[in-house]
Amino acid sequence: MSNERLTWFKSSYSGGEGGDCVEVAIAPSTIHLRDSKNPTGPQLTLAPATWSAFLASGYCGNAATMPSS
């Protein structure tokens, strides 16, 4: 799906300070994520179930709980 057909909005999980912002666009079968500072840059595309699982995991906004790699 091209960017022209997606409606992007700032994620409620982004900080309100204008720094690290994630934008989200919801399509019927995919969730698209991008860096608001680089809207023409790469995007992450996820299945809705994957996005829901991430949100439910408790990792959002809490880097301290992220598993180390």
**pLDDT tens for residues 36-52?**
889 899 999 999 999 88
Among the ranges given (12-21, 24-33, 36-45), the one the predictor scored with the smallest mean pLDDT:
12-21
This prediction's pTM: 0.69
Instruction: Count CB atoms within 10 A of the CB of residue 65.
Output: 10
Q: What is the mean pLDDT of the chain?
A: 78
CB 23 within 8 A of CB 9: yes
Q: Is the pLDDT of residue 1 over 50?
A: no
Q: What is the pLDDT of residue 46?
A: 95
Separation CA 23–CA 43 (nearest Å):
10
